[in-house]
Structure 1
Amino acid sequence: MLDAIGQDPKLAPAPMLERQANQRSDEWVDRYRAEAPRLGLPT
């Protein structure tokens, strides 16, 4: 994108990293961990 407007991409700051999970994902992981041993799934 920066090349297209004549700017040097190496001068741009690195993008900020953001956590991609949300509360729903956290709840799924908790439920999986609770049920996995009973179902013989890896943990």
Structure 2
Amino acid sequence: MWDELDRIRRWWLADGYLNTAGAKVTISADGVTTLSRGGWTVIL
């Protein structure tokens, strides 16, 4: 999970904001949460 959070932090620092507006969120039956928007996907 830390690797994914660090990847998100790098986007945030590079862009100056974290563009999550309009992101699709799915939660599977086993609790895996996936955020996606445009060309990025993050699985938590």
Larger C-alpha radius of gyration, 1 or 2? Answer: 1
Q: Provide the TM-score with structure 2 as the length reference.
A: 0.34
Query: Would you tell me which structure has more strand in proportion to its own residues?
Result: 2
Greater RCO, 1 or 2 (C-alpha within 8 Å, sep 6+): 2
Query: Would you tell me which structure has more helix in proportion to its own residues?
Result: 1
